[in-house]
Amino acid sequence: MEWFQKNDLTAAAAQTDVKGDRSLRPFQQKDPDLYVHVVEKRDDGVVVRGAKNHITMAAYADEIICLPTRMMIENDADYSVAFAVPADAEGVKLITHVTNPRPRTKFKTPVSEYGFADSFVIFDDLFVPNERVFMCGEPPPFAGLLAHMFALFHRHSYTGCKPAVTDMITGASALVADYQGIAGKTHVRSKLAHLVSVAELVYAAGIASAVTAQASSSGTFVPDTVYTNVGRRHAGVNIYHESEILADLVGGLPATLPYEGDFVSPDTRPYMEKYIMRKADVPAEKVHRCFRLISDMICSAAGGAAAVAGVHGGGSPVMEEILITATYDFEEKKKIAKYLAGIEE
């Protein structure tokens, strides 16, 4: 913490292992490197091997902080490891996938300049000095608790950032409905109400999880597990339905929209301005910009990657369901049912 504050550093958290055969535990894998593990212990540190994937921003982070991805048992001791290393340390290799929106030459926008980068982070017999090793072979349940705590805070952050993504989808849906003259239709209002409900319920779950947070002995406030995971799950199971609503309201043009150059070429511009018109009081360029934005949102490589990330980032919905059912007080709810049914113990 002091090192990060003094040097104003940025970190990427590397948690998700490649996992291999999902039916097997780490120590059971045919290739032991499918989970990051310690291969050698020295007096001054450890040597680790393995890979983490889906690691957003690893390619432009100062440091990479490696964490366990799951609960470990005694036989998984070599996999119960956590450490921090500079992102350019010898033995760290990044194989990076970059996704950018389609480049704009004429009709530039605030969102046409961004992209995302996600990496396979390879630890190829990486040496980590002792002062940078935070966990090494601790027995259960420490690896699982550390994995859970990172996921909990990550999912809590999702209850703030994911509603903002839904806000963009809601805004685009409302705008294209307005431009096309259907904003007042009953089915449109219903679809917009659904988008609002998703965004605000996820955000409300985030607020609730913060308000009911518990202070740890370190002074860090830990968000409520149930509220956090309910919010993240609600976001994850709705992401494709949000895109479906936007696609339904906009029609098929985002998938077949002529290239940007066709809207500026002297030969084709008059036709494009004439035939892209919707409501007579909305200029053709505004209509074009709206459709091109939505094309980037739901028909581009960046849009496709963002949708998958919306489902799985921070933990897939099934992981939230596991945490919800493991921590929710069902016994208390059963007592309510017994009381109402007149069942006496």
Quickly name the fold that domain 2-139 has: Butyryl-CoA Dehydrogenase, subunit A; domain 2 (2.40.110)
Residue limits of CATH 1.20.140.10 in the chain: 143-336
Which pair of structure tokens corresponds to residue 332?
């208390």
Q: Global pTM?
A: 0.91
Report which of 182, 174, 158 is spatially closest to residue 242, judged by C-alpha positions: 174
N residues, the chain: 345
**What pLDDT score does 316 carry?**
92
Give the angle subtended at the CA of 61 by the CAs of 205 and 41, to the nearest 5°: 100
Q: Give, in order, the Cα–Cα distances in Å from 90 to each of 28, 62, 289.
A: 29, 14, 46
Is the bond leading into 26 cis (omega within 30 degrees of zero)? no
Q: What is the pLDDT of residue 101?
A: 82
Class (C level, CATH) for 143-336: mainly alpha
Hey, how many other C-beta atoms are within 10 angstroms of the C-beta on 171?
12
Instruction: Output the pLDDT for position 1.
Output: 86
Supply the pLDDT for residue 238. Answer: 96
pLDDT in tens, the chain (345 residues): 899 999 999 999 999 999 999 999 999 999 999 999 999 999 999 999 999 999 999 999 999 999 999 999 999 999 999 999 999 999 999 999 999 888 888 898 887 777 889 999 999 999 999 999 999 999 999 999 999 999 999 999 999 999 999 999 999 999 999 999 999 999 999 999 999 999 999 999 999 999 999 999 989 999 999 999 999 999 999 999 999 999 999 999 999 999 999 999 999 999 999 999 999 999 999 999 999 999 999 999 999 999 999 999 988 999 999 999 999 999 999 999 999 999 998
What is the model's pLDDT at position 20? 97
Residues 6+ apart with CB under 8 A from 288: 107, 263, 272, 276
Enumerate the CATH 2.40.110.10 domain ranges in the chain, comma separated: 2-139
Distance (Å, rounded) from C-alpha 9 to C-alpha 202? 30
Can you tell me the distance from the alpha carbon of 202 to that of 224, in angstroms, rounded to the nearest whole number? 14
Q: What is the spatial distance between Cα 161 and Cα 166, in angstroms, rounded to a whole number?
A: 9
| Residue 219: DSSP 8-state | S
Residue 110: what pLDDT?
A: 84
* Cα R_g (the chain), whole angstroms: 25
DSSP 30-91: SSGGGS-EEEEEETTEEEEEEEEEEEETGGG-SEEEE---S---GGGGGG-EEEEEETT-TT
- Exposed e or buried b for every residue in 315-340, given b needs 16+ CB within 10 A? bebebbeebbeeeeeeeeeeeeeeee
- Report pLDDT for 102: 82
Residue 131, class by beta-carbon neighbours within 10 Å (0-12 exposed, 13-18 middle, 19+ buried)?
Answer: exposed
